[in-house]
Every structure is written in C-alpha cells, then in structure tokens.
Amino acid sequence: MGKNCFLIRGNGLFSRGYFKIVNIFPDTLCLNGSVHQVSTLLQMQTGRQGSPPGIESDVIDFLGQWYGPESFIIAHTSGSTGPPKPIFLEKTFVAQSAMRTLDFFGLEPGQRVLLCLPLKYIAGKLMVVRALLGGLDLGTAPPTDDFAFLARSPADCFRFAAMVPNQVIKLLEDSTRFDGLDSLLIGGSALPSRLESELGNVPTACFASYGMTETATHIALRRINGRNASGSFHCLKEIQVGLSEKGCLTIEMPGLDAPNLETNDLAELEGNKRFRIVGRADNVIISGGIKYFPEMIEKKLEDLIAYPFFIGAVPDEILGHRIVLVIEARPGEGIEKKLDLLFKQRLGRYERPKDVVFKDTFKRTGSGKIVRQF
C-alpha cells in the first residue's frame, strides 16, 4: 500500500466488516463551500499569490506540512505544565485519530464542519485532516469570533465543531447559536461545572474530550448533555486505559512508540474503557501529611466564585505546605470575608485555604488554560 494509505474496516475502524483503503493525501479539499485542488492551494503557499487571509491561510500552511515529504508532522504541547515542546507525530497515526472521530460522530462526505481553533495546536490540525479524509466541507472562523453566524443559518448547520471552553461561553451568550451546530466537542482545558450545567439544555450534542498532543488529540469522550450524559470518559475504538503504580492513567493504542503512555492525570477506572479524572499528579498538595487534590477542591467552589481562580500551596514550617486560593481579582469589597464564609460552607476543615492570593492577571496557554504559577 505504501505510506500514503492504510486499511480500515468498511463499517467502522475496527469492527467487523469489509476492509477499505484510506488515502491520507486526497487530491481535493472543500474549503468554505468551494472544492479546491490541493496542488493549487499548495501553489498559493509557495508564491503567496492569491492566498486568502487569516485562518484559511493557516490551513494552506498546514497542507504544506501534511503533503510534505516527511512521514510526520510537528505539533506543540500547550505549555500548561512547562515550556511548549515539539511532538513528532507520524501522519498515519494522525490519520487514524481523524478516522476515529469521523466514525464516532458518523460524519459523511459533503457535510459541513467548523474549524475555529488555531492551526498551531494539534486540535486545529486534526480538523483539517478530518475534512481531507472524510470529504467534508471545512468552514472556517477566527478563534476569536462571536459565532453569531451560527444563529443566522440554522437550516445550513454545521454537523460538527471543536472548541475550547472560552469559545463555548460566547455561544451561550445567545442560545440560538446552538441551532446551527449538531455536535460540539469541547477540549483544551477542564470544563467548569457552571458551564457544563448551562449546556444541559442546549439542542447541540455536547461532548467533553480527553486527550493530549502525544495521542493526536482525544482518545476518549464524555457526553455532557442529553439522555446519555455521563460523568465518565469512554475510550474510542481500539483504545484501552489502565493505571500506573502512582495511580496515573495509562493509555494503550495503536501507533504509540511505547506499549503504554503514562500520563500525569490521576484517575479512577471503570474497566479498561471508562474512567474519571481526579486531578493532576503534579498538582497534588501534601499538607500536614495528607494529600489534597486541588481540582477536587476547585469543583466544590467554582459555581459560586465569579472570578477565575485555582487552588495552590505555599511552604509552611509546620504543615510542610499550606493550601491557598489564588484568584484573578483585586483585594477589596469584602472579597476575603465572602470567600472565608464560602470555604466554611463548602469545604472540610482541613481542605480550606489558609490564605487568599490576589493576582491582576493569570498567565494562560494559547487554549485559554490557566498556568498555575503565582
């Protein structure tokens, strides 16, 4: 077959059925309703003559990488736990990830999908690969768009889009925007409880995703509204999970360099296909000899605190570390007293923050994830 193709099952990636060959370098791409020869788009990249502005130009730049001579593409981590680092992903591995998404959401040739994520991250790149392999019509919008156009054309809706939580907040400013979108994949950072609650009544099928750059985006999904809403992630086809000795999630899937990829996410398993994330191993706070998971404390508070915040720790001579709440706000207006009352209402005695640290502005990654530094 060569490096340009791979086999999948005809009625799904890995279920029973006939085999078919998937060409990962198709000749055409449908972009904003117009079918283009990829070779013509690549000529635009070379000469920069007639090249469209904005995100369409970024799509063409990525096509240059996808159709280039290397067997891999380069993606960068988000930088939430350290400086962003390059990750080299084999193109067949990326294509298999794209096909899993096409299969799960039942996307068919000619259907419209929306790209509104930066192309410098793997999530944006995967939207282009899905459109190529699935013969989809790839609509584009800047990541900073307010998505008002979704409310104006519900009859010509998008079958699928992927967004980060900050973008979903814009959708919720006018619930009719969901009328133009069938399925929505949300990733990039943890989904706040308040946001998940607000999505409970929208007509769009909404899914939280779990994945990382190393796995070429999501390996598991969690329905967050509708009859099939769940608190657990469910692995996509041919992917299984386990736990390391430290209690961190491990991932087993075709194409990884090692048999199991160990993450830094502490998890609870429900078999080898379903799991819940408890928190990050590198965020765990040991105070007075007891382990505390910041993400679990944050969940208890986030629906009542209007400002962005996170739970952290500072050195303490007696406890080793003491728990603090770091908030993106300025002191005043009795905020500390209100927070102290909230701590007493919602938190156990020993998990209550001992101090409040005010910051004018948090550092964030490109996907909007808060960098836990103060």
- Percent of the chain scoring above 70 in pLDDT: 89
* 23-32, 56-65, 256-265, range with the lowest pLDDT: 256-265
DSSP states along 221-254: EEE-SSTT--SSEEE-TT-EEEE-TTSEEEEE-T
β-strand pairing of 261-270 with 320-328: unpaired
DSSP three-state, residue 328: strand
Architecture of domain 5-238: 3-Layer(aba) Sandwich (3.40)
Tens of pLDDT, residue by residue over 149-185, are 998 765 678 999 999 998 999 999 998 999 999 999 9
Residue 44 has what pLDDT?
81
Token output for 105: 């959401």
Tens of pLDDT, residue by residue over 35-86, are 999 999 998 876 555 555 668 889 999 999 999 999 999 998 766 666 778 8
Q: How many CB atoms within 10 Å of residue 352? A: 16
Quickly state the pLDDT bin for 333 (edges 50, 70, 90): confident
Residue 12 has what pLDDT?
44
Closest CA to 257 of 83, 31, 72: 72
Instruction: Give me the torsion for CA of 277, 329, 195, 231, rounded to 10°.
Output: 20
Interval 243-248 mean pLDDT: 93
Mean pLDDT taken over the chain: 88
Spatial contact of 343 and 335, defined as CB atoms under 8 Å apart: no
* For the chain, the helix, strand and coil percentages under 3-state DSSP, each to the nearest 5: 30, 35, 40
Domain 284-359 in CATH 3.30.43.10? The answer is no
Interval 274-287 mean pLDDT: 92
Closest CA to 83 of 373, 311, 299, 298: 373
CA dist 91 and 122 (Å) reads 12
Quickly state the pLDDT bin for 268 (edges 50, 70, 90): very high
The radius of gyration computed from the CA coordinates of the chain, to the nearest angstrom, equals 22
* 186-200, 265-279, 344-358, range with the lowest pLDDT: 186-200
Spatial contact of 109 and 135, defined as CB atoms under 8 Å apart: yes
Higher pLDDT, 289 or 93: 93
Residue 129 has what pLDDT?
98
CA dist 294 and 325 (Å) reads 10
Quickly state the pLDDT bin for 365 (edges 50, 70, 90): confident
Which residues are CB-neighbours of 46 under 8 A, at least 6 positions away? none
Spatial contact of 75 and 68, defined as CB atoms under 8 Å apart: no
Residue 47 has what pLDDT?
54
CA dist 100 and 78 (Å) reads 23
Tens of pLDDT, residue by residue over 334-359, are 888 999 999 999 999 999 999 999 99
CA dist 139 and 56 (Å) reads 9
Write down the domain spans for the chain: 5-238, 284-359
Quickly state the pLDDT bin for 189 (edges 50, 70, 90): confident
CA dist 97 and 87 (Å) reads 15
Higher pLDDT, 55 or 330: 330
For 19-28, the CB contacts below 8 A with 24+ separation are 22/95, 22/99, 22/133, 24/91, 24/92, 24/95, 24/129, 24/132, 24/133, 25/66, 25/67, 25/132, 26/132, 26/133, 26/135
CA dist 355 and 296 (Å) reads 18
